Amino acid sequence: MVQLHDLTFEPYIHDTDIREKVSGLAARINADYGNTELHIVSALTGSFMFTSDLVRHLHMPCYLHFIKVSSYHGSTQSTGSITLDAELKADLAGKHVLISEDIIDTGLTAGFLHEYLMKKQAASVKIAALLFKPNAYKGSLPVDYPGFSIPNDFVVGYGLDYKELGRNLKDIYKLKDS
Q: Strands across the sheet with 38-44, in order?
A: 83-84, 62-70, 38-44, 96-104, 124-132, 145-149
According to the binding rule CB under 5 A, does residue 48 interact with Mg ion?
A: no
DSSP string over 140-155: SS--SEEEEE--S--E
Q: Which is nearest to 105 in space by CA: 85, 125, 78?
A: 78
Q: Which residue type, as a one-letter code, is found at position 103?
A: I
Would you say 62 or 165 has its CB closer to ligand XMP? 165
Applying CB under 6 A, the span of 8-16, 48-56, 98-106, 118-126 interacting with ligand XMP comes to 98-106
Q: How far apart are CA 63 and CA 106, in angstroms?
A: 27
Residue 38 binds which entry of Mg ion, ligand XMP, none, CB below 5-8 Å type-dependent:
none
Would you say 30 or 112 has its CB closer to ligand XMP? 112
Question: Which of 29, 38, 125, 155 touches ligand XMP (CB under 6 A)?
Answer: 155
Enumerate residues 40-69 that contact ligand XMP by CB under 6 A.
43, 46
According to the binding rule CB under 5 A, does residue 53 interact with Mg ion?
A: no
Question: Which of 30, 32, 57, 72 touches Mg ion (CB under 5 A)?
Answer: 72
Q: How far apart are CA 58 and CA 92, in angstroms?
A: 20
According to the binding rule CB under 6 A, does residue 160 interact with ligand XMP?
A: yes
Q: Which is nearest to 160 in space by CA: 116, 129, 115?
A: 129
Question: What is the contact surface with ligand XMP in residues (CB under 6 A)?
Answer: 43, 46, 71-72, 78, 101-110, 154-156, 160-161
